[in-house]
Amino acid sequence: MRILAIVAAAIGVILLFLLASASANTALFVNSYPLLLGLNAAVVLALLVLVVVQLRTMWREYRQRVFGSRLKSRLLLMLALMAVLPGAVVYGVSLQFAMNSIESWFDVRVDSALEGGLNLGRNVLDRQLAELTEKARGMALDLSDAGDSKVVRATQLNRLREQAGAQTATLLSGSGQVVASSSVDTERLLPDLPSAVQLRQARQGRGLSQVEGDATAGLTLRVLVPVTGSALTMEMRVLQVTQPVPPAIAKSAASVEAAYRDYQELSLGRAGLKRIYSLTLTLTLLLALFAAIALAFFLAKRLAAPLLILAEGTQAVAAGDFTPRAALETHDEMGVLTQSFNRMTRQLDDARQETERHRGQVEAARAYLESVLANLSAGVLAFDRNFVLRATNRGASAILEADLDALEGVLLADWTGHASLIEAIREGFAGVDLQGPAGREWQRQIDIKPGEGATQVLLLRGSTLPEAGGGGYVVVFDDITQLIAAQRSAAWGEVAQRLAHEIKNPLTPIQLSAERLQQKLTDRLDADGRAMLYRATRTIVNQVEAMKTMVNDFRDYARTPPAQLRPLDLNALVLEVLGLYESSRATVATELATDLPRVTGDAAQLRQVIHNLLTNAEEAAEDLLSPIIRPEILIVTRRDGKGVVLGVSDNGSGFPARILAHAFEPYVTTKDTGSGLGLAIVKKIVDEHHGEVRISNRKPRGAEVSIRLPLAA
Amino acid sequence: MLRFLLAAGLLAVCAPGWAGKIEPLSARLAAGEDAYVLSAEFEIDLGSHFEDAVSRGVPLYFVLELEITRNRWYWYNEHIAGRSVHYRLAYIPLTRQYRLSSGGTLHQNFASLGDALRVMGRVAALPVADKSVLKTGETYQVALRLALDRQQLPKPLQVDAIANRDWQVEPGVSRWQFIPAGSTAAAVPEREPK
């Protein structure tokens, strides 16, 4: 398209030049003038088609609101206007000028002056001709009087010619033959002879007189007069007299004639001239205009290109696309602009990527922190400065046995339940000034009773968050129930050992002394006295025996040997122990899982555990003493996640509430007899097996103890 | 100015007039004493515009062309001989005569345009080719053409001649076959087919 336009414009310019040259009367282009005209018109037509096609394309783009078409059409309009307006003005002025100057050549005065000059010339010639004719008539009269002698005629003719001052004088016979001749120019013997027509005319009329030749070759006056003979028989003769027009007159006449001819030529070709000029000018105008408009398209496109790149780039950047645009490789402002724009988008892109990276790092750090928090067994509660809960972790929910996620964004005072916790937190932070140095901490221990379960002991630590992070408070708490229990258990072990040691030592001498008393004093006392002695010594011995048993139990509790852990089948162990309870008054039912995996444990110790649990259950069930309810014991084993659960339940009276929290502590018992060590030992063994023990009351009656043991590796 | 242009254009188009025409009446080639000679007659009508132009002193140029060719089936026709005569017809306002110059040497004066045209249209005994050039019994093509030489017109009139049919003189063309047979051989001229 562009090449086409350039070629068309170039051809147009060449053709225009040729046309202008042809108009300037150069012989070379005479023949090709119509061809040039046609070619120019064809180029104009081609340019017109080009412009129309371009305009249509642009109009369609404009209608479809193609991006940038508005800018392009405005640029085009301005450029085209810049070309069309001056072009039209120059065209109008030139045309007017040309037409006026052509018109100005033709003037009535010039016309009449030329006409007058011509008439003047004609008059001069006519007068000379008349003079010559007059002279010729005289000569003819003289000649007609003259004799017939040839010599006489010749001399007379010569004399007459010299008298008349003519150049040549020739006497011709009627048939045109030269009778006598005389000439100034003696070298030329024969003068120009008249034609037959002229001769005839001369003979018939009163003679003939005319000017011959043209202005350039020289004008000659020729006069033919008839010469009447003296004798009747003599045929009519004709005298020809010629005389050249004086050179000065001839020259002037020639110039007048030439001017007249030129003027007439011009006046005839006036319309043609105007046509040439107007055609050439119009073609020039059209060529220039269309070429300018076609050029304006490309210029508009070219000018708009960098702006469009920028605009597109801005839109793309706004949409989040940072891919670099095509930059103009020019050194002007536009090129610099597009290049800088590209640089800017690149920097934006880099900055965005940097931000993304930072965000990713922060996210990762946060996720890491969250996972750490989540896997923390301790509970964490974070509050803002108004005591609205901001974050919690899984540990907190587990310890408090409540869904704390639902409380996020809730003011601490508006929480339902957890009264002691709320109270403790408030009191803890009551004395803490947020404006004070960050990291002020407090610590306290509270008892809570979440849900149905036993009372838990929590250790709360409160701290203010640094001002930089938005301030606020954080509370970290641990369930230290187990810890306390363990401490107690350890303390009891110590006590038991010392007790066993301290108490057992004097027991044997006391027993021996009582037996010795009985032996020595039996003979010395009467029957009453003896009976009393027996009673007393028996009481001493029995009580000492009981004390010994108790002390041994304590010692056993304290001195449980380390567990020998190895894989074993829990079901088999349960069945083995059950064998001892076949004679029990209570009905023992089992629900043992068939595909129970093996657990890690010490067979002897676990046997002790099962034994203790069964004994407890049996005793609890038998304590009922109710005829209606038959004592029942249910033993259950089942797989539970990564462990195995052994449950022993009875339909006895259950644990009293005051026992429930301390059931695993030594010397806590519901029974009149018994050391209260059963469950304590169970707890100790299960702890050593890394298991868990839970006790709970059943509805409507009874209690359940469940033990969770880890699977064998 | 536009109105003026329009008016001028209209005037040029609508001016009453007729186109000129040159019509061949007869043409013959004959064997002369030592050359073949042409005799021909044309009727010349200049048309209104050119008559006007001539009467205003604008010289008109005519050219009489004769070409003898021999047909060749394998190539262009062979050029055997040719002759062209240039005429210049001009009115001399000073003497009120028409002056016909032929070949640049012979000048004739005429009182009327008709006489001048008649003389120009009559060609008598114009030698065109030596006798040795044409072979007896061979067939030759002869083309004779008398036309106005437009190239010598003044430039503005040339433009008119392009644009306006009235400003044209249709050339007179005559073609015939010529077989030299020692004696004269003539043919009835035929109009060039349009």
Report the b/e string of B168-191 with b at 16+ CB within 10 A.
Answer: bbbbbbbbbebebeeeebebebee
The verdict on A134 and A66 lying in the same domain is no
Query: Rounded distance, CA A514 to CA A541, Å?
Result: 7
Residue of B nearest to A253 (CA): B94
Residue B38, CB-side half-sphere exposure with 13 Å CA sphere? 31
The verdict on A475 and A533 lying in the same domain is no
How many domains is chain A built from? Answer: 5
The verdict on A623 and A519 lying in the same domain is no
The verdict on A510 and A571 lying in the same domain is no
CA angle A504, A509, A513 (to 5 degrees): 140
Q: Which two tokens stand for residue A505?
A: 């030592």
Q: Which residues of B touch A257 (CB under 8 A)?
A: 57, 92-94
Work out whether the CA dihedral A16, A19, A23, A28 comes out positive or negative.
Answer: positive
Q: What is the pLDDT of residue B63?
A: 92
Question: Which residues form the domain of A525?
Answer: 485-558
Q: What is the pLDDT of residue A358?
A: 95
**CA-to-CA dists, residue A704 to A95, A482, A642, A654, B158, angstroms:** 124, 20, 21, 8, 134
Reading phi first (left if > 0) and then psi (alpha if -120 to 50, else beta), residue B186 is in beta
> Is residue A525 a part of any domain in this protein?
yes
Q: Are A383 and A473 in contact (CB under 8 A)?
A: yes
Better-predicted residue by pLDDT, A218 or B78 = B78
> Is residue A293 a part of any domain in this protein?
yes
Contact assignment for A257 to B94 by CB distance below 8 Å: yes
Work out whether the CA dihedral A568, A571, A576, A577 comes out positive or negative.
Answer: positive
Amino acid at residue number A538: R
Give helix A247-268 / helix B155-163 axis angle, nearest 10°: 30
Query: Rounded distance, CA A271 to CA B161, Å?
Result: 12
Chain B contact for A111, CB < 8 A? no
Chain B contact for A25, CB < 8 A? yes
Q: Are B33 and B69 in contact (CB under 8 A)?
A: no
Q: What is the pLDDT of residue A146?
A: 60
pLDDT at residue A587 tops 60: yes
Q: Are B84 and B72 in contact (CB under 8 A)?
A: no
Q: Which residues of A touch B90 (CB under 8 A)?
A: 214
The verdict on A168 and A199 lying in the same domain is yes
The verdict on A136 and A259 lying in the same domain is yes
Contact assignment for A275 to B154 by CB distance below 8 Å: no
Q: What is the pLDDT of residue A563?
A: 75
The verdict on A31 and A66 lying in the same domain is yes
The verdict on A250 and A282 lying in the same domain is no
pLDDT at residue A625 tops 80: no
Query: Rounded distance, CA A643 to CA B186, Å?
Result: 142
Beta strands in chain B (DSSP E): 20-31, 35-45, 60-70, 78-92, 97-102, 106-110, 122-130, 140-148, 169-170, 172-178, 185-186, 190-191
Q: Which two tokens stand for residue A66?
A: 């193609």
pLDDT-based confidence at B86, cuts 50/70/90? very high
pLDDT at residue A323 tops 90: no
Chain B contact for A261, CB < 8 A? yes
Considering CB atoms only, which of A99, A215, A276 is closest to B156?
A276
Q: What is the pLDDT of residue A186?
A: 67
**CA-to-CA dists, residue A16 to A41, A287, B27, B157, angstroms:** 10, 9, 46, 21
Put simply, the chain A residues between 640 and 659 with a CB less than 8 A from any chain B CB are: none
pLDDT at residue A281 tops 80: yes
pLDDT-based confidence at A355, cuts 50/70/90? very high
Considering CB atoms only, which of A33, A118, A257 is closest to B158?
A33
Q: What is the pLDDT of residue A234?
A: 59
- The CATH number of the domain where A577 resides is what? 3.30.565.10
pLDDT at residue A590 tops 80: yes
pLDDT at residue B30 tops 90: no
Q: Which of A297-301, A436-440, A464-468, A473-477 is predicted with the least confidence, judged by mean pLDDT?
A: A436-440
Shortest Cα distance, chain A CAs vs residue B100, angstroms? 11
B147-167: pLDDT as tens digits: 988 878 877 777 677 667 777
Phi, psi of B92 (to 5 degrees): -105, 105
pTM of full prediction above 0.90: no
> Is residue A95 a part of any domain in this protein?
yes
Looking at residue B136, what DSSP letter applies? T
Q: Are A169 and A161 in contact (CB under 8 A)?
A: yes
B170-193: pLDDT as tens digits: 888 888 888 876 544 444 444 444
Chain B contact for A129, CB < 8 A? no
> Is residue A317 a part of any domain in this protein?
no
Chain B contact for A272, CB < 8 A? yes
Considering CB atoms only, which of A33, A217, A269 is closest to B154?
A269
A361-412: pLDDT as tens digits: 999 998 998 888 888 888 888 888 888 888 888 888 888 777 777 888 888 8
Q: Are B136 and B49 in contact (CB under 8 A)?
A: no
Better-predicted residue by pLDDT, B51 or A5 = B51
pLDDT at residue B2 tops 80: no
pLDDT-based confidence at A540, cuts 50/70/90? confident
Instruction: Using DSSP, state whether B79 is helix, strand or coil.
Output: strand
Cα A12 off chain centre by: 46
Beta strands in A88-167 (DSSP E): none
Query: Rounded distance, CA B189 to CA B129, Å?
Result: 19
Q: What is the pLDDT of residue A362?
A: 93
Query: Rounded distance, CA A486 to CA B15, Å?
Result: 138
pLDDT at residue A31 tops 70: no
Q: Which of A127-141, A487-501, B20-34 is predicted with the least confidence, judged by mean pLDDT?
A: A487-501
For a pLDDT cut of 70, what percent of chain B falls above it?
81
Contact assignment for A257 to B93 by CB distance below 8 Å: yes
> Is residue A346 a part of any domain in this protein?
no
Residue of B nearest to A35 (CA): B162
pLDDT at residue A551 tops 50: yes
Query: Rounded distance, CA A224 to CA A168, Å?
Result: 12
Beta strands in A144-196 (DSSP E): 168-172, 178-183
pLDDT at residue A46 tops 80: yes
Whose tokens are 């509790």? That residue is: A557
Q: Which residues of A touch B5 (CB under 8 A)?
A: 99, 274, 278
pLDDT at residue B72 tops 60: yes
Considering CB atoms only, which of A31, A34, A272 is closest to B156?
A272
pLDDT at residue A672 tops 70: no
The verdict on A610 and A694 lying in the same domain is yes
Considering CB atoms only, which of A99, A214, A272 is closest to B159?
A272
Phi, psi of A492 (to 5 degrees): -60, -40
Q: What is the pLDDT of residue B11?
A: 46
> Is residue A367 a part of any domain in this protein?
no
Q: Are A273 and A266 in contact (CB under 8 A)?
A: yes
Q: Are A552 and A500 in contact (CB under 8 A)?
A: yes
Helices and strands: H and E segment counts in chain B: 4, 12
pLDDT-based confidence at B194, cuts 50/70/90? very low
> Is residue A582 a part of any domain in this protein?
yes
**Domain-terminating residue out of A264, A297, A326:** A264
**Domain-terminating residue out of A516, A538, A558:** A558
pLDDT at residue A26 tops 60: no
Residue B120, CB-side half-sphere exposure with 13 Å CA sphere? 38
Contact assignment for A269 to B160 by CB distance below 8 Å: yes
Looking at residue A685, what DSSP letter applies? H
Mean pLDDT value across residues B32-40: 85
> Is residue A141 a part of any domain in this protein?
yes
Chain B contact for A104, CB < 8 A? no
Cα A375 off chain centre by: 43
Chain B contact for A36, CB < 8 A? no
Cα radius of gyration (chain A): 75
Is A297 exposed, middle or buried (CB count within 10 Å of its CB: 0-12, 13-18, 19+)?
Answer: buried
Averaged pLDDT of chain B: 79
Cα radius of gyration (chain B): 19
The verdict on A91 and A126 lying in the same domain is no
Q: Which of A289-298, A333-342, A444-453, A682-691 is predicted with the least confidence, judged by mean pLDDT?
A: A444-453
Instruction: Using DSSP, state whether B88 is helix, strand or coil.
Output: strand
**Domain-terminating residue out of A504, A525, A558:** A558
Domain boundaries, chain B: 26-178
pLDDT-based confidence at A447, cuts 50/70/90? confident
Looking at residue A695, what DSSP letter applies? E
Amino acid at residue number B41: E
Instruction: Quickly list DSSP for A363-405.
Output: HHHHHHHHHHHHT-SSEEEEE-TT-BEEEE-HHHHHHHTS-GG
Strand order across the beta sheet in which A703-710 lies: A587-592, A632-640, A643-650, A703-710, A692-697
Q: Which residues of B touch A111 (CB under 8 A)?
A: none
ipTM: 0.70
What element of type H or E holds A425?
Answer: helix A419-430
Query: Rounded distance, CA A265 to CA B56, Å?
Result: 8
Considering CB atoms only, which of B5, B56, B154 is closest to A278?
B5
Better-predicted residue by pLDDT, B38 or A324 = B38
Query: Rounded distance, CA B105 to CA B86, Å?
Result: 10
Instruction: Quickly list DSSP for A603-672.
Output: HHHHHHHHHHHHHHHHHHHHTT--SSSPPEEEEEEEEETTEEEEEEEE-S----HHHHTTTTSTT--SSS
For a pLDDT cut of 70, what percent of chain A falls above it?
89
pLDDT-based confidence at B48, cuts 50/70/90? confident
Q: Find, among B189, B191, B192, the residue nearest to B41 by Cα.
A: B189
Q: Residues A224, A230, A231, A236: what is their CA dihedral angle, to the nearest 10 degrees?
A: 0
Q: Is the peptide bond before A509 cis (omega within 30 degrees of 0)?
A: no
Averaged pLDDT of chain A: 80
3-state secondary structure labels for all residues of A571-602? HHHHHHHHHHHCCCCCEEEEEECCCCCCEEEC
Give helix A270-318 / helix A333-374 axis angle, nearest 10°: 20
Mean pLDDT value across residues A434-458: 71
Query: Rounded distance, CA A649 to CA A661, Å?
Result: 18
Q: Is the peptide bond before A700 cis (omega within 30 degrees of 0)?
A: yes
Q: What is the pLDDT of residue B14?
A: 45
